[in-house]
Chains A and B, each alone.
Chain A
Amino acid sequence: MKAALAADNLIEISGLRFSRGSRLIFDGLELAIPRGSITAIMGPSGTGKTTLLRMFTGQLKPDAGSVLVAGQEVPRLSRSDLYALRRRMGMLFQNSALLTDFSVFENVAFPVRENTDLPERLLRNLVLTKLQSVGLRGAANLMPSELSGGMSRRVAMARAMVLDPELLLYDEPFSGLDPISLGVVLRLIRLNNDALGLTSIVVSHDVAEISHIADHCFVISEGKVIASGRPDELADSESELVRQFMTGAVDGPVPFHYPAPDYRQQLLGSS
């Protein structure tokens, strides 16, 4: 049973516990992500979605529980095994994280230069192909400071894909984009996933956008997965919290007001 599951799932997480200081971030989180799909991980701000991605890449270690990526227990990998596993992953950071001193071309070439001994001519072709696929071959000689937010997001995407990873992680890929750039990024995520046979994980709270492309969604709140399923299933969820999140209602299980003493009492009965 377990072995059969492992064949289908690229990532399996069980019993994940993690706390930062006194704050418990994950409390027995369970999650399985099938190969070849686009999975959305959603949840209110501050629930540790980005932290979860860093568990997949081994940048953070859980306090307890198992994080299986491609059949390997990430927290227990040796340094060299972890680096070998990371070569099979790509990650798109929220602020793109392009290297400021390098041109667009050199940014995309960077992981190839550092990790392989590819001859210059092949490298050039590879980088230009990836830039072409995100529509920025013409921008190869620009510096990151000359790019718009949407463009640098696309360069970062080309860089994340340049070593042909099996797994692509997107951390808030839509934040701060204009509608056109957003549409482009959405289309690229879907296109890459299908054309390259990737497994994609998108962390986002842009419910409407992610619903267009995700095959499967997880909603995380208070350290646990509170709902999972197809995007349209989640919209009709029985859980009030999930519904509030999916529809974006102002008040609900997540209250509009931060906990405070009674309003009238504080205004009238002071000192």
Chain B
Amino acid sequence: MEFLQQLVNGLSLGALYALIAVGYTVVYGIVQLINFAHGEIFMIGGFGALAVWLLVPGESLSIWMLPIMLIGGMLAAVGVALLTERVAYRPLRNAPRLAPLITAIGVSIFLQEFVRLFFGRIPGFPDSKRAIPFPQIEYVTGEAFNIGGVTIQRAALFTLVALAICAGFLYVFVNKTRLGRAMQATSQDPDTARLMGINVDKIIMVAFALGAALAAVAGLAHGLRYTNIDFKMGFLAGLKAFTAAVLGGIGNINGAVVGGLVLGVVESMATFIPGQFGGSAWKDVWAFVLLILVLVFRPQGLLGARVVDRA
């Protein structure tokens, strides 16, 4: 029974990682950039959703606020992601690989500090220097479901359902639409894609926007699930999501989803390892042991990087 409970815990935690990991993988697949600021995009998604809720008068907890918050979070996350792409990454597109990587770390610190210092200064907004309680929307939060002794929290279920919908949407988008096929083409060979009449700049923007939109879903889910958000929540979540993307095979969208879920489950299951090396204290150790093993024996990740190697 505890095994099933930990499986549920792991899957719902992993779903959050997976939603963020997609952003790392999509951007890497197109521009070979590890966007370390993506964790902060996730954080901004959460703050955007909260801001919209604060701006709508009445402090309503009705379920109808959920889509409004989701759109607000997405607008904020996508807007910031496109802005960072335009201001910080595009000027460095032909620079050595290390330059955009360092820039990404700088952008990450900048966004954290920006939210920390300025979110709370908007009149009527709470102090952002510490954790801010997140509105508990009806139906998606509240009393947990209990199925045969296994507790499933509503917000955890919301995260899993959101991941399923987003994964389905992504599959259709990448494989069935013109824009999606253009993305695949750009990822395989940007120069030839450009010769075929694909606007590569636009495709890169789409990749950033797509990742940011999913990160905003994760930001909202995080707020509902853990009932509070703070300016540095993107750091560790981003690190774990990056791990998930590498685990699944960076550049591979399906891999990001699988990698996220596997990472979440391993972290939860680590509590079963008996003795001194078991328990919750060692869960990150076991997660990274798994990552090292995968990288040693299958460097391309669990599902393998589908991108044509250009290095």
Check if A and B associate.
no
